Amino acid sequence: MNVKLFQYEGFFELNANTYVLYDESECVVIDSGKNNNDVVDFINANHLKLNGILLTHGHFDHIQGLPALLKAFDVPVFIHKDDECMLGDSHLNGSNRFSRTDIYYDGDVNTFTDGEIFHLLKSPIEVIATPFHTKGSVCFYLKDNKILFTGDSLFSEGIGRTDFPYAIPELEHHSLYKLTKLDKDITIYPGHGDSCSLREANPEAYL
């Protein structure tokens, strides 16, 4: 399994990461941080079939690239059921904090819940709900490949903020505790910043 990182440093992108997760011929996109054709061009250049877009949560810096992707590919968008309401609401998705009301998604969406398994690639992708940064924040876990996409739940040097609308600070401990039970040698790919091992990210430090 391969991971291609696209990292965007513009003012409205907030250094958010977009990932293409792919095997020999198929791929999924995890989060979509910039509305340009970088990801589209990569997928086409590598002759990959895009099977879906998985969102770790509903903040604007992780969804604002959806228009470019969906213009190029007719694929489903997936988000936890508790963050679906954020997609079309500039207050909940945070874009209004930057005086933007045009960053939203009002198209079709497929919702999921904790523990669901996606079979979009050769390896299964498990949903681990980690609500606190948002009510519907999740991680995507590929146990067979020792890969964990953590969104804004866990970074290489910190965890997600809980002072935004729709955050649930009281669930922080419970959510991070779930991550401490995973293999410490797995690689985490966060929503911002660099990848590292789960051991290096050390979620125990925030309990």
Query: pLDDT of 63-102, one tens digit each?
Result: 999 999 999 999 999 999 999 999 999 999 999 888 788 8
- Evaluate if residue 24 carries a pLDDT over 90: yes
What's residue 206's pLDDT?
95
List the structure tokens of 23.
Answer: 């095997």
Tell me which residue of 37, 38, 23, 32 sits closest to 53, measured CA to CA: 32
Mean pLDDT of the region 111-129: 98
pLDDT band with cut points at 50, 70 and 90 for residue 114: very high
Alpha carbon separation from 9 to 12, 13, 62, 157 (Å, rounded): 8, 6, 13, 18
Mean pLDDT of the region 32-41: 93
pTM: 0.96
- Evaluate if residue 12 carries a pLDDT over 70: no
Tell me which residue of 121, 134, 159 sits closest to 63, measured CA to CA: 134
d(CA 133, CA 93): 12
